[in-house]
Amino acid sequence: MEFENYKPTIVMIVMQFIYAANTLFCRGALVQGLSARVFVVYRQTIGFLLIAPIAFGPRRKTDSICLGWKSFWLIFLASLIGVTINQNIYFSGLYYSSSSIASATSNLVPAFTFLMAWVMGLEKVQMKSLRSIAKVIGTILCVAGAIAMALIKGPKLLNSEFIPTNGLLLLTLGKENNYENLDSNWMLGVTLLIASAICWSLWLILQVTLSENCPDHISLTAWLCLFAAIQSAIVTFFIEPHINTWKITSSLELISCLFTGFASAVTFFGQAWCISKRDPLFSAMFNPLNNVIVTVFASIFMHEEMYTGSLVGSLAVIFGLYVVLWGKAKDKKEENIIAEEEPMKQNNIQ
């Protein structure tokens, strides 16, 4: 029973490593010249093709595959907000900024999710309760740590002096000079990434209603990928009608599309499952861990400089995450006690 309680935590930690690798592959493909909108279409299409045989196979129940009108519109809305809009502006922001900045701004998701969940009544805050105070303080620490990683520099810890210039991924990119040319659009990139964080928070909130109406998370994942691929393709055809835009010109672009497609299928399923077991805030609170992983990996493989501010911010993120998880664990324990006492009360009444 104890291991069952830890399953959502383990799944979310594994997913952060997948998200981190996903961010680095995305950055590499975009710097190579692949269109962000085309990339979203390829990614979601591959994700659908990977999970469709499992979701719609002959052994699956028919009622788990078919959609009612309510489920149809919920999935359509979730795909539009969480993928079509979110990923298009996220990848554009990633192109104009950097992997570390993209990961750092995504750590605003816990704060946005906390506020949305509180407004909608999904998250209770009682300032006289120690666990509620812990969740608020932990969320603030995570966001502050993410901001510190993005804005505070200090002495360098890892940079090109310590990392071989012939790193595998850097050689594969082949366009190292592009990083310097994107500095003028840095603020645009950050703005797009913040907008993406808002969309992602809303998508997490929508997962609560989606899980209630579509309890089969495998078929739900397949429908999300399919709807997102169709929506993104329509948007791309209108904005970038030229056929050359769709060409994949390097092995890195191909590998990035394949890996991120796999990542979409796995993470959509993982997010839906974890939210059904816990809640949107629990899922959102692991985003800062992704920032720590990306910052270290980007320093090693992509020559993005790492500073003391990144280390301090990372420690704040990890500590804040621990504090929130402690508060959530206390919430879960109280819910279990209430659930166990309820049948006893009913028996006494009878």
Which value, to the nearest 10 degrees, does the dihedral of the CA atoms of residues 221, 228, 298, 294 take? -40
pLDDT at position 125 is 72
Q: Residues near 329 by Cβ (< 8 Å), separated by ≥ 6?
A: none
- Mutual orientation of helices 186-213 and 86-96 as an angle, nearest 10°? 150
> DSSP assignment of 215-230, as one string?
--HHHHHHHHHHHHHH
Task: With respect to residue 324, please indicate whether it lies within any of the assigned structural domains.
Answer: no
Q: Given pLDDT bands bounded at 50, 70 and 90, which one contains residue 81? A: very high
- Using an 8 Å Cβ cutoff, are 204 and 283 in contact? yes
pTM over 0.75: no
Find the range with the poorest average confidence among 3-17, 117-131, 154-168, 299-313: 154-168
pLDDT at position 45 is 94
Q: What are the start-end ranges of the H helices in 33-152?
A: 36-55, 62-65, 69-79, 86-96, 99-105, 109-119, 130-151
Tokens matching residue 275: 């939210």
Task: With respect to residue 94, please indicate whether it lies within any of the assigned structural domains.
Answer: yes
Task: With respect to residue 70, please indicate whether it lies within any of the assigned structural domains.
Answer: yes
pLDDT at position 331 is 66
pLDDT digits (tens, 9 = 90+) for 225-241: 999 999 999 999 988 88
Domain that holds residue 21: 2-126+160-306
Question: In this structure, is the dihedral angle defined by the CA atoms of residues 236, 239, 243 and 248, taken in order, positive or negative?
Answer: negative
Task: With respect to residue 281, please indicate whether it lies within any of the assigned structural domains.
Answer: yes
Return the closest-CA partner of residue 23 out of 296, 307, 316, 318: 296
Task: With respect to residue 258, please indicate whether it lies within any of the assigned structural domains.
Answer: yes
Whose tokens are 């998250």? That residue is 123
Structurally, how many domains does the chain consist of?
1
Tokens matching residue 293: 């992983």
Whole-angstrom distance, CA of residue 65 vs CA of residue 72: 11
Tokens matching residue 35: 């269109």
Tokens matching residue 127: 């300032």
Does position 51 have pLDDT exceeding 80, yes or no?
yes
pLDDT at position 172 is 44
pLDDT digits (tens, 9 = 90+) for 110-149: 778 877 887 877 777 777 777 778 878 887 887 787 677 6
Task: With respect to residue 340, please indicate whether it lies within any of the assigned structural domains.
Answer: no
Task: With respect to residue 19, please indicate whether it lies within any of the assigned structural domains.
Answer: yes
Whole-angstrom distance, CA of residue 30 vs CA of residue 98: 11
Whose tokens are 């052994």? That residue is 59
**What percent of the chain is modeled with pLDDT above 70?**
75
Task: With respect to residue 236, please indicate whether it lies within any of the assigned structural domains.
Answer: yes
